[in-house]
Amino acid sequence: MKPTRYAALIIIFFAVMAVARASWAAYPQTITTTSPWVNLPRPSDDQRWAEAFSHWDKRAETDEVIASIAIIEDIARDKPDCFECHLWLCRMNYLMAMRKLRQRDNYCENSIESADRALEIKPGDDVARYWQLASLVLLRNLTEEEYKEVQALGLKYRHVRPLPVPDNDPLWAEALKKYDARMDRGQALAAIEDFRKLDEKYSDRIEVKLFLCYSYYWLSEFETTRERKAELNGIGAEWGRKAIQMEPRNPAANYAFAVTMGTYAENTSMLTIIRHSIEISRAIIVVVEEEPTYMYGGFSRYIAASLAVAGELSFKVCAMLGFPEDLIIRISVFSTKLEPACLDNYLQLALMYITLDRMDEAKQALETVINGDPAILKYYEPENRIVQKEARELYDKHFK
């Protein structure tokens, strides 16, 4: 991709991010995800909770988030030892910190304070600590002790699969077996065929649509022409869009859609990028707000790719819109600590360091990728092997 195209792309992307935050409707209470910090407990011992959640479920509108915070603060005043009150206040203030960029520090501090209180009531709660750490990353660098805690959380809640698996059905087992062998193009095609059959049987399940989205994206890795890559990712994006229609703020669905649609656009034309920039931006905004775990990998990957081509211009545009250079690096470092077995996290960090001419740090990150065990993260070996290949090429280019 030419530098001018990438420079224009990142400007379009972040400009849309600045104005497209209130663009999705309410969605069901339960979101399909393996992460424990997405579906927080919903108490019902006080009628005010129902009102608070009625606002929260429409949180695409910032005023609704503010309204829900006010109600839960009211409950907390009456019940100062209510763990759920402080947990939800931590979560909601994090979301406000992502949206109210000029007041980010204040909202981060509110989130951290609420998490402190939650952890006093329920020491060692992983969900409260997760959201607190997410806010801390927005506010400052973590200490070494905090990074050790991040690593422990990452190991404890390591992704086993990108999605939960539906009912026990022999066809599911067969499809997943082929999907897990996707280093072979034939197996990838066979998995798609099985997933399509499953979609006919389970048309009301989001999981199969997400696996189809991922499968087409992966199948495109075997193609050598831009036209064919675009075609397959276009099909995958349609499955991702169907998943979003079922659960508009599902982080996995929005992430999968953004990846496939972004890859489709990159392999077509600048006009296509512009045409789909709002839709892609909306999806990434949802990811950023709903599950930071996806943000650390996906958001960092997008920025790193742009920086590699457009250089300092990307940093300047990001800084104008509330994502200064130090925050982007903090997010990327955090991702390597949260899931060190995902080698792509180190590759994106290396790309950023190269752009900043921090070559010693870039070399260290690339060596971590090259020397890593691609099979250590179950079900992600194919992705890790491709990342290792890219890291070796980058290492040879800059350090040999």
**Separation CA 200–CA 44 (nearest Å):** 37
**Separation CA 193–CA 382 (nearest Å):** 20
Could you tell me the CA-to-CA distances from 246 to 30, 166, 209, 254 in Å, in that order? Answer: 11, 16, 10, 11
For residue 326, how many other CB atoms are within 10 A of its CB?
Answer: 11
Residues (pLDDT < 50) of the chain are 1-8, 11, 15-29, 295-296
Domains in the chain (CATH in brackets) are 47-156 (1.25.40), 160-289 (1.25.40.10), 291-400 (no CATH)
**Separation CA 321–CA 134 (nearest Å):** 19
Q: Which two tokens stand for residue 302?
A: 């997008």
pLDDT tens-digit profile of 187-237?
Answer: 999 999 999 999 999 999 999 999 999 999 999 989 999 999 999 999 999
Give just the sign of the alpha carbon dihedral 227, 393, 325, 127. Answer: positive
Supply the pLDDT for residue 297: 54
Nearest to 340, CA basis, from 384, 287, 382: 384
The residues near 147 (Cβ < 8 Å, ≥ 6 apart) are 337
Contact in structure between 3 and 265 (CB atoms under 8 Å): no
**Separation CA 201–CA 208 (nearest Å):** 10
Contact in structure between 207 and 223 (CB atoms under 8 Å): no
pLDDT tens-digit profile of 274-293?
Answer: 788 778 878 877 887 888 76
Position of tokens 């980058």?
A: 394
Supply the pLDDT for residue 4: 42
**Separation CA 366–CA 6 (nearest Å):** 23
Region at 184 (left for phi over 0; alpha for psi -120 to 50; beta for the rest): beta
